[in-house]
């Protein structure tokens, strides 16, 4: 019996749901027939060849988000929702105006000193920011609005397609999705390598290989993934002293005084009158007097908890071995007739389209438009459905990039 067969058929291995990093290194050494170190295991995880997980030994806290979306679904969703009606604006620094779409992690900046200055203090006012958007659009002709929106959409698609290539053709959930209730989490969760969890592992890898100190930080925090694919953002709690201070009369009064100064400035700029300012101040005081929400006592964690333990699920090791076995098999075997027909049909359709100009006056501003055209033009041909084209195009681009590297 070979070492690979022995590693998988071990009774103890089958009974365990996960292995420590040290145990994983020993297991992979048997599986590969060569020495594998703990650092090698971490590198395999960082390079996304092996799914790493974390065991929350003493439990932890997290906010729920969304799942990864296949790029094609994300693109359709973006095109359906990206309109000036759904766009949001914000007066930023240095005379810039941010234009963004909630739920898509995309923001674009336009220079307009006049409008930015007028709305600089309105970053918390939904109505005022809507007013800013309307003022901006009034300065732009319908043609410019259409061109600008189209450029923003296409740039977002380019950026997110590139990002999705790191995650097997899927787009990570938007940072906007991590809102609301804080959950207690326990046991083993997978690491999607979205945020500072990857920095933590890189740090451990460099420590094991006598590499440089990692000084990188992340703004979005660490993330974990449930077995059903839902991503959670790990949270930390402020210390008790800070929480008690936030609930104190002194803290509420300081917040009220700061808010009053902002209102005084808006009065001086003739943005509001004193009666409206008093109403806003009274509403602010009522909000501060409301019982504090427990979820407000948490913030995105800078990394994984110190008392958590990196592990590898046994299923992840089985998946790795199956992929390697399939690769070995594929490298020694020619394409079967079905796969060959698929690839030949795709190549033939592309040749007809671009060499013989089979598309007439049709323009292809994006890959999605090309796939749509081919799937309709060659409906019924093996391999030329839009879904298959998306899969094969993604594989082809990754293969080409690998060769270029």
- Residue labelled with tokens 């709690």: 237
Q: Do 358 and 312 have their domain in common?
A: no
Beta-bridge mates of residue 54: 189, 310
Q: Do 55 and 99 have their domain in common?
A: no
pLDDT score recorded for residue 5: 46
Domain end call among 126, 143, 167: 167
Q: Please say whether the beta carbons of 160 and 173 come within 8 A.
A: no
Which tokens is 256 given?
């009220």
Nearest to 197 by CA among 187, 205, 207: 205
Cα–Cα distance, 110 to 105 (Å, whole number): 17
Which tokens is 208 given?
């094991």
Helix (H, G, I), strand (E, B) or coil at 57: strand
Cβ neighbors of 114 (< 8 A, separation 6 or more) are: none
Q: Do 155 and 9 have their domain in common?
A: no
Q: What length does the chain have?
A: 405
Q: Do 61 and 74 have their domain in common?
A: no
Q: Do 192 and 309 have their domain in common?
A: yes
Using CB atoms within 10 A of its CB, is residue 355 exposed (0-12), middle (13-18) or buried (19+)?
exposed
Nearest to 117 by CA among 269, 261, 302, 288: 269
- Say if 325 falls within a structural domain: no
Q: Do 314 and 177 have their domain in common?
A: yes
142-164 and 71-81 helices cross at what angle (nearest 10)?
160
- Say if 107 falls within a structural domain: yes
N- to C-terminal Cα separation, the chain: 38
Q: Please say whether the beta carbons of 18 and 27 come within 8 A.
A: no
Neighbours of 198 (CB within 10 A): 21
Q: Do 183 and 306 have their domain in common?
A: yes
- Say if 328 falls within a structural domain: no
Cβ neighbors of 189 (< 8 A, separation 6 or more) are: 53, 54, 56, 224, 225, 226, 232
pTM: predicted TM-score of the whole model, two decimal places: 0.69
Residue-range definition of the domain harbouring residue 42:
3-65+173-237+300-319
Q: Please say whether the beta carbons of 7 and 27 come within 8 A.
A: yes
pLDDT score recorded for residue 36: 95
- Say if 324 falls within a structural domain: no
Sign of the CA dihedral with 351 first, then 390, 106, and 190 last: negative
Which tokens is 29 given?
């050494």
Q: Do 77 and 154 have their domain in common?
A: yes
- Say if 329 falls within a structural domain: no
Domain end call among 121, 146, 167: 167
Q: Do 19 and 132 have their domain in common?
A: no
Q: Do 88 and 46 have their domain in common?
A: no
Q: Do 44 and 117 have their domain in common?
A: no
User: How far lies 273's CA from each of 120, 127, 263, 267, 328, in Å?
Assistant: 18, 17, 9, 6, 75
Q: Do 311 and 205 have their domain in common?
A: yes
Cβ neighbors of 185 (< 8 A, separation 6 or more) are: 56, 59, 60, 61, 62, 224, 232
Which tokens is 212 given?
């440089």
| Total number of domains constituting the chain | 4
pLDDT 10s digit of each residue in the chain, 405 long? 444 444 555 667 777 899 999 999 999 998 888 999 999 999 999 999 999 999 999 999 999 999 999 999 999 999 999 999 999 988 877 888 889 988 888 888 888 888 877 766 554 454 557 888 888 899 889 999 999 999 999 999 999 999 999 898 999 999 889 988 999 999 999 999 999 999 999 999 999 999 998 887 777 899 999 989 999 999 999 988 888 888 888 988 998 899 888 888 888 888 788 898 899 889 888 888 888 778 888 999 999 999 999 999 999 999 998 888 776 655 555 666 777 888 888 888 888 887 766 556 667 778 888 888 888 888 888 888 888 888 888 888 777 776 665
- Residue labelled with tokens 């009034």: 138
pLDDT score recorded for residue 117: 76
Cα–Cα distance, 182 to 297 (Å, whole number): 10
Sign of the CA dihedral with 21 first, then 192, 18, and 35 last: negative
- Residue labelled with tokens 């460099």: 206
Q: Please say whether the beta carbons of 64 and 181 come within 8 A.
A: yes
Which tokens is 75 given?
């693109």
Q: Please say whether the beta carbons of 204 and 42 come within 8 A.
A: yes
Domain end call among 138, 167, 196: 167
Helix (H, G, I), strand (E, B) or coil at 364: coil
- Say if 80 falls within a structural domain: yes
Nearest to 235 by CA among 367, 59, 103: 59
- Say if 330 falls within a structural domain: no
Cα–Cα distance, 399 to 201 (Å, whole number): 27
- Say if 382 falls within a structural domain: yes
């Amino acid at each position: 019996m070979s070492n690979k067969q022995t590693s998988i058929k071990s009774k103890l291995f089958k009974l365990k749901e996960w292995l420590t990093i040290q145990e994983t290194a020993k297991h992979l050494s048997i599986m590969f027939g060569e020495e594998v170190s703990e650092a090698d295991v971490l590198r395999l995880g960082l390079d996304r060849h092996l799914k790493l997980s974390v065991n929350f030994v003493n439990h932890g806290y997290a906010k729920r988000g969304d799942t990864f979306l296949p790029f094609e679904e994300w693109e359709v969703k973006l095109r359906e929702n990206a309109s000036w009606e759904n766009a949001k604006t914000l007066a930023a620094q240095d005379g810039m105006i941010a234009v963004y779409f909630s739920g898509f992690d995309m923001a674009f900046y336009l220079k307009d000193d006049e409008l930015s200055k007028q709305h600089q203090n309105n970053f918390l006012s939904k109505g005022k920011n809507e007013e800013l958007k309307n003022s901006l659009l009034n300065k732009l002709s319908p043609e410019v609005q259409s061109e600008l929106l189209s450029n923003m959409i296409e740039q977002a698609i380019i950026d997110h397609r590139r990002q999705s290539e790191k995650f097997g053709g899927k787009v990570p959930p938007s940072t906007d999705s991590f809102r609301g209730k804080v959950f207690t989490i326990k046991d083993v969760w997978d690491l999607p390598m979205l945020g500072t969890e990857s920095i933590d592992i890189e740090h451990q890898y460099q420590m094991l290989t006598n590499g440089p100190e990692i000084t990188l930080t992340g703004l979005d925090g660490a993330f974990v993934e449930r077995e059903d694919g839902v991503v959670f953002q790990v949270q930390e709690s402020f210390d008790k002293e800070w929480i008690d201070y936030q609930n104190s009369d002194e803290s509420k009064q300081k917040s009220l005084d700061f808010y009053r100064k902002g209102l005084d400035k808006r009065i001086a700029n003739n943005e509001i009158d004193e009666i409206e300012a008093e109403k806003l101040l009274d509403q602010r005081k009522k909000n501060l007097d409301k019982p504090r929400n427990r979820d407000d006592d948490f913030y995105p964690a800078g990394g994984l908890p110190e008392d958590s333990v990196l592990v590898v699920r046994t299923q992840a090791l089985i998946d790795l071995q199956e992929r390697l076995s399939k690769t070995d098999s594929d490298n020694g075997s020619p394409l079967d007739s079905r796969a060959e027909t698929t690839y030949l049909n795709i190549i033939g359709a592309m040749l007809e389209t671009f060499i013989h100009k089979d598309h007439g006056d049709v323009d292809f501003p994006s890959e999605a438009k090309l796939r749509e055209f081919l799937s309709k033009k060659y409906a019924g041909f093996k391999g030329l459905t839009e879904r298959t084209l998306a899969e094969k195009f993604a594989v082809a681009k990754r293969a080409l990039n690998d060769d270029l590297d």
